[in-house]
Structure 1
Amino acid sequence: MGVFILFTTFIICLVIGVPVAICLGVSSAAYLLFHADIPLVVFAQKIYAGVDSFVLLCIPGFIMAGNLMNGGGITDRIIRFASAGVGWIRGGLGLTNVAGSMLFAGISGTAVAEAASIGAVMIPGMKKEGYPIEFAAAITAAASTVGPIIPPSVPMIIVGALTGVSVGRMFMAGAIPGILLGLGMMLVCYILAVKNNYPRRPWKGWKELWDSFLGAFWALMLTALIVGGLLSGIVTPTETALLACVYAFIVGVFFYKGITIRQVPKIVIDSAITSAALLALVGIANVFGWIMAAEQIPQTIATTMLSITNDRTMIILLINILLLIVGMFMETIAALIILFPTLMAVATGVGIDPVHFATFAVLNLMIGLTTPPVGVCLFVCANIAKEPLWPVIKAIFPFLVGNIIVLFLVSYIPQLSLWLPNLLFGVK
């Protein structure tokens, strides 16, 4: 009866369009009120316990660093550099879109921020140059999923808080899969560009490439600071996030001069609101996850999967299918908090490395950000393009196919995610 109340309330709220965090909270409260003999004060206690983690302090830090750099004019500089590098190829603005997202990924750490920032510049620009508007929205949405794979990554931070797996190792594990994801989308873009004769811009020489690199230099160095801090071992991921904020403030105010001192308080407030919404989701999802654990739902899922097969190859396939379906309906962070500990127990039970599992699980759920009916990045880019959702869904389908191919390569070739962290941190 308790499980029925929990999931029926959750599904009803989801269907009528209630935000996922509220869906989780309402269904958890309904369970406590109508089934469990537990005082409601436990609800608040479990929310607090869910966010009471030193690792989660990374999230406000990286969000504020990204907002400071974006406010300082970073998006335009990165796009100019990417365009100078690949804009002369057939479908060059599409390739620039993907390359810009790959470079921006090292700063934002979140897919939605990337879709909004890159999309605001690239979607109108691609339309002006003669690209179909639905193609511009689709490639922007698809490319934004690179953000949480290439370090830094907010979902990887959440996973570290949930499981105790090293955030530094997971950051490094995402580097090669993130690059593969970007190259895969570039290949799809080029094939479509040749087929549909999309435009390209003329090559303007090495001087433009060098000048655009110098323009983007300080922005790109933020990624170097983050990665260098983690690899050196001098600072923790949380301390790295705080250093990134200081660096972004100095660069945005004194080097790029895209923001003034007066604008900084607004950026801090915006970052706090974004962080608070994300951490509220983490806290409320922790209550939902605690109830699921009390009802032994994770154990049932694990037992069911292992009763079907204990073959490692088939377990990876089943986990990927499950997460692809879940990603179509549930927000990434909520899905991670609810399902990740259970599925990791299944994965490690058949010999899958936790870092490898974390990488392909996060990659899988990132793809869900561009699949209907709850593809957040899809909605963001369709809204920027002022285009109905269905044409954008049709246009994104080839990119989804390419991304799923990369997902299965990462899932079945562990060294794609393990080679770099093992090289830098040693085999664990």
Structure 2
Amino acid sequence: MNTIFLGVFITALVAIAMPLGFAIILAGLMVIWIDGGINPVIVAQRVYAGMNSFSLLAIPFFLLAGSLMSASGMTRRLIDFANALVGRHPGGLAMSNITASTFFGGISGSAVADTSMLGRIFIPEMKRLGYSGSFSAAVTAASSVVAPIIPPSIAFIVYGVITEQSITRLFIAGIGPGILYTLAALILTAILARRRNFPVHQVSSFREMLRAGFSAAPALMMPVLILIGIFGGIFTITEASAVAALYALFVGTVVYRELTVAGILAAMRETAETTAAIMIIVGAAQLFAWILAYAQIPRMAVDAISTIGANPLLFLLLVNLLLLIVGTFMEANAAMVMLVPILHPAAMALGIDETQFGVIVVVNLCLGLITPPIGLCLNVACKIGNVPLEKSLPDVIPFLGVGVLLLVALSLFPSLTLIIPSLFYGS
């Protein structure tokens, strides 16, 4: 009964626009007060324990690296390189948008940061060249979905902390699905470009392509540095994030010489604000998970699933449907806080690989970033493009379809997720 009250109370507080982290903490305190058998001090202890993780230090450092990269001209050079690679094709600017998102996502790990930064550059330019505002916003938001899937990924860091799972393994597992999503989005854009007669953006010679690649090389080296360092056992995820921030600072001030003191301070302020919001949610997640465990909700969930049959594929199908629905009205980190403590033990009880399940959960919730009515990335892109949200729906639906097909493939074929981790871990 207390758990039902907890859910209702959290929903009510969120409905009046209270941030989810604070809503969970306040609701948890109320439940403990009503129960009467628990010392309320446990609330502060659990919240602090949730934030007291060395792995979580990676979040502010990766965010800072992305902000410094944006302020130092690295983003512009990545876009120029993407244009040189794919701008020669019909719909080349839209394809450059997707390619640049993959480059940028391999550094920031945040889909919202991707949409905000690249949207300000691509959406006005696409509209100027004759693309509709709705398609410009849709492709910008949809391409940003790859950022939390490929490493580094803030979503995987949060998921790994909640489930006490190897974040490095999750990072490695996200590479394959991230590449598949990018390729599928590029193919879809190429098909739409021929049907709608999208323009060619720019035709670059091989020499111009080399020049753009050379200019973008310091920026492109950042994700390579991160991946080699992590996978080579040179440093941990957290250490890699600090190295990424220092590298972005070095490139911006010494190599490109465009990063100013004002830019550094603005990047630090933006990082602090975003980190605070994420950390409150993560701390509240630990409290929420503790209350669920105290009420034996995970065990009851496992028992309920066992009554409908121990079919892992059926379970994954139901989870996909649930998360796709939840993702339409709840932000990804918030949804993980609410659902992962229940779904993860049930998946483990059915023998589903924990890495495969983690990737499926994250990909599911990332699609929620472009699904109305919340659709955070889609809302941001529409705001930048001055496009009503409802007008972007016909253009974003094909990209949602691509994401759903990817989810089906990840559920049916675990090797798509596990083949790269098996190369590193042998199983």
Same fold (TM over 0.5): yes
Q: Match for residue 5 of structure 2?
A: 5
Whichever residue aligns with residue 63 of structure 1, its letter is: L
User: Would the aligned equivalents of 1:81 and 1:212 in 2 still touch at CA under 8 Å?
Assistant: yes
Q: Secondary structure at the match of 2:235?
A: coil
Cα distance in structure 2, aligned partners of 1:163 and 1:3: 20
Deviation of 1:369 (Å): 1.2
Superposition deviation, residue 105 in structure 1: 1.2
Q: Out of 282-291 and 108-117, give the one that drifted further.
A: 282-291
Residue 26 of structure 1 deviates from its aligned partner by 3.5
Unaligned residue ranges in structure 1 (runs of 5+): none
User: Match for 1:319: what amino acid?
Assistant: V
Which moved further from structure 2: 270-279 or 1-10?
A: 1-10
Which residue identity is paired with 1:98? I
Which residue in the other structure is 1:250 paired with?
250
**Aligned residue number for residue 81 of structure 2:** 81
The equivalent residue for 1:143 is: 143
Corresponding residue for 2:158?
158
Q: What secondary structure does 2:327 align onto? A: helix
CA distance in 2, matches of 1:13, 1:160: 27
The answer to whether the 8 A contact 1:62-1:108 is kept is yes
Match of 1:317 in 2: 317
CA positional deviation for 1:228: 0.5
Contact 1:253-1:261 within 8 A present in 2 as well: no
**1:26-63 CA deviation, whole Å, 9 max, x = no partner?**
43233234454544433222210111111111111111
> 1:152-175, CA deviations, whole angstroms, 9 ceiling, x for partnerless residues?
011111222223322221111111
Aligned to 2:95: 95
Structure 1 moving runs of 4+ over 6 Å: none
SS in 1 for 2:310: coil
Which residue of 2 is the match for residue 195 of structure 1?
A: 195
Q: Which moved more, 1:74-83 or 1:347-356?
A: 347-356
Where do residues 8-407 of structure 1 align in structure 2 (5 Å cutoff)? 8-407=8-407
Aligned length: 427
Shift of 1:328: 1.7
- Give the direction of change, closer, same or farther, for the CA distance of 1:221–1:135 in structure 2 (3 Å limit): same
- For residues 305 and 80 of structure 1, the distance between their equivalents in structure 2, rounded to whole angstroms, comes to 51
What is the DSSP-based 3-state SS (H/G/I as helix, E as strand, rest coil) of the residue aligned with 2:328?
Answer: helix
Which shows bigger deviation, 297-306 or 205-214? 297-306
Query: How does the TM-score come out when normalised to structure 1?
Result: 0.95
Asked if structure 1 preserves the Cα contact closer than 8 Å seen for 2:313 and 2:411, the reply is no
Cα distance between partner residues in 2 of 1:174 and 1:333: 17
Kept in 2, the 8 Å contact 1:298–1:339? The answer is no
Bigger shift: residues 124-133 or 271-280: 271-280
**TM-score, structure 2 normalization:** 0.95
Moved more, 347-356 or 239-248: 347-356
Instruction: State the shift of 1:263 in Å.
Output: 3.3
**Separation in 2, partners of 1:327, 1:86:** 32
- Partners in 2 of 1:209 and 1:36 — Cα distance? 68
- Structure 1 vs Structure 2 CA RMSD: 1.7
Q: CA deviation at 1:205?
A: 1.2
8 Å Cα contact 2:297-2:342 kept in structure 1? no
Offset of residue 89 of structure 1: 1.1
Distance 1:387 1:170 in 2: 36
Deviation at 1:347, TM superposition (A): 1.9
Are 2:298 and 2:346, in contact at CA under 8 Å, matched by a contact in 1? no
- Please say if residues 109 and 151 of structure 1, whose CA atoms lie closer than 8 Å, have aligned partners that are also in contact: yes
Between the aligned partners of 2:245 and 2:204, the Cα distance in structure 1 is 35
- Return the letter of the residue paired with 2:201: R
How many angstroms apart in 2 are the aligned matches of 1:202 and 1:248? 29
CA gap 1:5/1:349 in 2 versus in 1, 3 angstroms: closer
**What runs of 5+ residues in structure 2 fail to find an aligned partner?**
none
1:2–1:36 Cα contact (<8 Å) kept: no
SS across alignment from 1:64:
helix
Distance 2:333 2:302 in 1: 20
